[in-house]
Amino acid sequence: MMTRHPFRRLTFTGACFLLLFIQSTWAVDSSTEDPRFQINLREYDVGQKNFNRIVHCIRDRYESEQVDFKKVFAHALYSAEQVVREVEGAGAVIVLATSEPPYSLQELEYVQHLGNLIAGRIRSASATVASVTQLWNVALTSMVGALGDPYSQYLPPQSYGDLQQFLSGEGSPENRFFGVGIRIEWDVTNNAGLFVRSPIPGTPAAISGIKTGDIIVAVDGIPLSATGTPVENLNAAVERIKGPEGTKVKLTVIRPGSGPFPLHFELTREPMRTDQLIWAEMLGEETGHLTLLSFYQRCSEDVEKNLLKLRQQGMKKLILDLRSNPGGFLDEAIKVADIFLPQGTLITYTQGRTEDTRKDFFDQRTGDENFTQIPIVILVDSHSASASEVVTGALKDQGRAQVVGVRTFGKGSVQELFPLEGDAGLRLTVAKYYTPNGRCIHNQGIEPDVAVEYEPPQIALPDEKSESRKDTGPKPVTASSLLEKQLATDNQLRAAYQLLNRNAISTK
C-alpha cells in the first residue's frame, strides 16, 4: 500500500485551513428579504460545502495518490469563468484562468478566485448574469473531471437520483438497451456495412426475420459510412440504430444467397428484457454453449437454471460466452463464478490506497450441483468488461477455464458513492480489482489463452447487375449438419469448440 508524501500532506493542511477560512470571508449579508437572494445564498452555501467535501474525498479516498490539485482547482475556475463569459459577455471581470499548464496561480489562489466569482452573483436575479447553481455545477463537474478518470464523477441531483435508482435494482441506465437486439461486427470482408453475428432471441430483430450472416447496409435509408476504421464505422452505425424506446428504425439488409435485391425491415426499438440477455444451446451431443450478455440482477439464478437444462440434454463440457458483455452487478459476477469453483476459493480482491479498500471475495457455495469439475472455455472480446473480467480472471487463474478470443476491455476499478448536500453525489474511484494471482484488471484486461480475432465469413455480396453471380461466385456455407452450420459463421466459437473437444482441459 502506498504512503502519502509529506509534501502533499503539508499542502493539504494549508488548503483545509484556507477552505475553512474562506467560509467566513465569502459570507454575504443575509438581511435582505428578496426571495431570489435567499435562494442564491442557500445554493451558494450548498456548493461551498460540496466543494470542501469533494476535496476531502479526493485527498483521503481517491485510488491514486498522484493528484495534481493545482490542475483540479484550475479546471474548476476555468470552467466557471467560461460560463460567466458566455452568459455575461466579454466585459465580465474574470481572472482568465487556463485549463492547460503551466498554471500561473497557486492552488489556494484558484480556490479563492472561484469562491469570489460565484459569491459575486448571489445578489443577482437577472438572466444576463450566470446563476450560482450553474457555476457550482460546472466547477464541481470540471474539478472531478480533471482527475482524468472517466469513472469518477460529480453527480448533480438528477444524475445522483438516477444512479440511486440503478443501485436499488429498479433501473439500470448502463445495462438497459434500447435497440433491436442484434450482435454485430463491421463487415471487413466487403466493407459494406454491419455483419450480423446473431439476432438475440425474442428481440425485434429475431422476430422480424433478421438472420445470422445478413449485412446491414443502410439505416433509415441512409447508407452506412465506410470511411473510417472498422471500429469507428461500427460505433457510428450502432449510434444510428439505437434510439428512444418505442421509436422505429428501418434497416436495409443484403442477404447472401437470396438474390441481388436488398431486404427492408422496419423495427421498433425496445429495451432488452432479462430473458433476452441469456440463452443456451447444445453444440453437438456433449458441448453446451451458454451466452450471457449482462450481469443483471439475479442472473446467477438464470445461469444455473440454464446449466441444469443443458446437463439434462447431455452437456459434459461448456462454452461460457461473455463476448459483448459490459458487466453489471459485482455480486452476481461472484455468484456466477461460485457455480464453477470449490468453496473457499478466492475469486477476486480489491485494493486501493487505504487499508479498508482491501476486500477479498471468496466462493461461498458448496458446489452441490457439481459444476466444479466440468471443462470450460470462456469466450471474450474487446467489449467484455468489468464483471465479465472478474469471472474470466477468476476461472482462468484458478485453472478452471481456458480463455479464447481477444484481450478484454480492462474496466476493473471500484467506485464509492458519497452523498453531498442538496441531493447531489460524488462517485469516486477508490480501488481496483485484481485477479486471484494478483493481476490488475484495470486498463490491462484479461489476455486469452488462445488469441482468436473474430473473422466474418468470406461471403460475397450479390451483384445487382446479374443474378447469375449467386451461381458462379463464392457460395454461402451449406453445411450438412446443424453443428457445422452453428460453427460455420463464428470462427471464435469454432475455436472454443475445437479446444474443448480436442484437448483435455485441466481442472486445476
Which residues are known to be catalytic?
A: 386, 397, 411
Task: Please name which of 410, 403, 366, 364 lies closest in space to residue 384, comparing C-alpha atoms.
Answer: 410
ω into residue 260 within 30 of 0, thus cis?
A: no
First to last CA, the chain: 30
Half-sphere exposure of 409 (CA within 13 A, CB side): 17
- Is 470:462 a contact under the CB 8 Å cutoff? yes
- Is 395:385 a contact under the CB 8 Å cutoff? no
- For the record, the C-alpha cell of 226 comes out as 465506410
Place of cell 474562506: 22
* CA distance linking residue 430 with residue 357, whole number of Å: 7
The residue type of 410 is: G
- Is 354:61 a contact under the CB 8 Å cutoff? yes
- Pairing mode of beta strands 401-405, 376-380: parallel
3-class state of residue 340 by DSSP: helix
Instruction: For residue 264, list its beta bridge partners.
Output: 252
Place of cell 448571489: 122
* CA distance linking residue 68 with residue 143, whole number of Å: 11
Place of cell 436488398: 262
89-95-96-97 Cα dihedral, nearest 10 degrees: -130
Place of cell 481477444: 406
Q: Which residues contact 42 (CB under 8 A, 6 or more apart)?
A: none
3-class state of residue 376 by DSSP: strand
> Positive or negative CA dihedral for 448, 324, 495, 401?
positive
* CA distance linking residue 212 with residue 156, whole number of Å: 43
CB atoms within 10 A of CB 482: 12
CB atoms within 10 A of CB 64: 14
* CA distance linking residue 447 with residue 408, whole number of Å: 7
* CA distance linking residue 449 with residue 476, whole number of Å: 31
> Positive or negative CA dihedral for 370, 376, 380, 385?
positive
Three-state DSSP string of 382-399: CCCCCHHHHHHHHHHHCC
Task: Please name which of 395, 404, 384, 388 lies closest in space to residue 347, comparing C-alpha atoms.
Answer: 395
